[in-house]
Structure 1
Amino acid sequence: MTPDHGDLLYEGKAKRVYAASQPDRVLVEFKNDATAFNAQKRAQLADKGRLNCQISARLFERLEAEGIPTHYLGLASDTWMVVQRVAIIPLEVVLRNIATGSLCRETPIAEGTVIDPALLDLYYKDDGLGDPLLSEARVRLLGVVEPEQLSAIEQLARRVNDVLQPLFADLDLQLVDFKLELGFNAAGQLLLADEISPDTCRLWDRRSSDAQDRILDKDRFRQDLGGVMEAYGEVLKRVQASCADPRNCM
């Protein structure tokens, strides 16, 4: 079902954002598009939008219950979410609990190394530049956020990790690393935004010892492993077992 909505405000790789009847809200449609390597690899994966929307809604509500402020307000349908309108900060915040991916390609750190406390990396959100890794000095040079805002961003990101890690562990899932986007609402409050799903989290199945079979996230698409939607479906099934059905906001 497609809810009533206003003009298309923004279209990204995985979602479309539409105006809502209330100016402080927007409607987010989760698409079936899959992309990797800065959208150089593309595909349409049936049911991907619904799975990511349903996973994200449940995780946002769990985070909300733990006192973490998010843009999430509720669902409008299986693939549509109602959220607060926010000004997105042009930073991708990545928390790494286990070394893999680019960290191992760019450093001598061995695959699978436990990182405690989690490593926090900042990337500049700009597809044309390839979302480059930033130092704190470069963040200050760019003037993306004020120093006290950067500190608040790190504190919020680590709080999210503190909730998600044990939540997933209880579901026999290892939260390897994940990407967050944040923004400010009209009142200037810092909020967790975007989504939390196998598109933005690396999740390994603790029930499997096979290095490929354990992957239950977007790496299955990146690495041509197959079974992408089956993996996402398994994540939703486990999250449903721990998190209540999301509220309807329409």
Structure 2
Amino acid sequence: MGSVKDLEVVKAPSDREPGEGRFRFSDRYSVFDWGKMPDDIAHKGAAICIATAYFFERLAEEGIPSHYLGVVEDGRVVRLSEARGPVRELACRLFRVVRPSRRNGEYDYGIFAGLSGNFLIPLEVIYRNSLPPGSSLFRRLASGALTHEDLGLAGPPEPGMRLDPPMLDVSTKLEETDRYLSWEEAQRIAGLSEEEVAALKERTRFLDRLITEETRRLGLDHEDGKVEYAFDEGRRLVLVDALGTLDECRFTYRGIPVSKEVARIFYRRTEWYRRVEEAKKEDRVHWKERVGMEPPPLPREFAQAISEMYMAYANELTGREWFKVRPLSEVLRVIREFVG
């Protein structure tokens, strides 16, 4: 079980061949690496499943390989267009998850140098089309972990700044807390060649453009997003996990956040978040034990509006009414009251 989705292994992957699984998208959500938050967001799981299935099927049309096999309805694997109603389960190929060893609080990725294929690449690739106020880049700049010269900028960036071309960032995927990396370190720990790093970047730029084009017709401004990859048994690059959802991407609509970022904005104003940030500075592995309190629940009206946001996005992205819900533009007026 993950923080937001559950996995059923239908056939386990071997050293040489992928397996098959079922992702069940739940109504749970997570922010700041905490894991399950106190509330569920009603119908979020089905809305996320529908949105990511839509994008995976668009990728198939473009000849881009992914782990996607279809959505599951009444035990059958079907295309999204064949589903009779909202679905929350996705059939996929499974690749090995090989974890780095940990010694004295440090991670050792040596095992990846000897892997030939059929495994999850232990990286998360982030693309940035702009720098919204909540971007982690501003915290990294403020702490000195990053400089504007590292970003290729003439001076310090301002919130809302557009990036042309988009910036590609990379972080760890299998550590207790995600850690940003240089591309040189990412290449080293994942055991990638220079050609594979170049392919990873090129594929990510393509996905960024696809999501931007598909969501522009909804009136959305595509700010940033994240993607994950595996190597198949022939060491070919394969997109995995989820794509183009309100959990993987940040969008805005006339300046209003349209993504999981709305929950982050709420929690950044709490004492719980202050303690989370302090704990991560003290111990990036065992930080949760140092927080000393649970996150507060969301206000009921806000949680309902977030639920409607997910559902309206799925409806308008696919052009099909899966859920009886107000248009996205109307839902966002309520969202604005809480995050404005």
State yes or no: 1:171 paired with 2:161.
no
Q: Which amino acid aligns with 1:123?
A: S
Counterpart among 149, 158, 180 of residue 110 in structure 1: 158
CA shift at 1:127, angstroms? 4.0
Matches of residues 84-233 of structure 1 in structure 2 within 5 Å?
A: 84-86=93-95, 87-100=119-132, 101-107=135-141, 108-128=156-176, 130-196=177-243, 197-205=245-253, 208=254, 211=255, 214-224=256-266, 226=302, 227-233=305-311
Q: Does 1:70 align with 2:148?
A: no
| Alpha-carbon separation, structure 2, partners of 1:172 and 1:54 | 19
Instruction: Say which of 58, 66, 70 aligns to 2:54.
Output: 58
| Long gaps (5+) in structure 2 | 14-18, 74-86, 96-118, 142-155, 267-297, 321-340
- From the two aligned structures, give the one with the greater strand fraction: 1
Q: Tell me which moved more, 173-182 or 232-241.
A: 232-241
CA distance in 2, matches of 1:32, 1:144: 35
Give the Cα–Cα distance (whole angstroms) in 2 for the partners of residues 184 and 142 of structure 1: 15
Q: Does the residue aligned with 1:75 lie in a helix, a strand or coil?
A: strand
Q: Does 1:26 align with 2:16?
A: no
What SS does structure 2 have at the residue aligned with 1:95? strand
Shift of 1:159: 1.0
Aligned runs of 1:8-47 on 2, under 5 Å?
A: 11-20=1-10, 24-39=19-34, 42=37, 43-47=39-43
Alignment: residue pair count: 225
CA distance in 1, matches of 2:188, 2:231: 21
1:192 Cα deviation (Å)? Answer: 0.9
SS of 1:74's partner is strand
CA distance in 2 between counterparts of 1:234 and 1:111 reads 27
Do 2:8 and 2:23's aligned partners in 1 also have CA atoms closer than 8 Å? Answer: yes
How many angstroms apart in 1 are the aligned matches of 2:121 and 2:33? 19
Q: C-alpha separation between the residues in 2 aligned to 1:41 and 1:103?
A: 25
> Quick check: which has more Rg, 1 or 2?
2
Deviation at 1:162, TM superposition (A): 1.9
Contact 1:89 1:144 in 2 (8 A): no
Return the alpha-carbon distance in structure 2 between the equivalents of residues 222 and 231 of structure 1. Answer: 15
Q: Taking every aligned residue pair, what percent have the same amino acid on both sides?
A: 28
Give the residue type in structure 2 aligned to 1:137: E
The separation in 2 between residues aligned to 1:61 and 1:166, in whole angstroms, is: 15
CA distance change for structure 1 residues 63 and 143 in 2, over 3 Å: closer, same or farther?
A: closer
Match of 2:314 among 236, 240, 250: 236
> Structure 1-normalised TM-score?
0.83
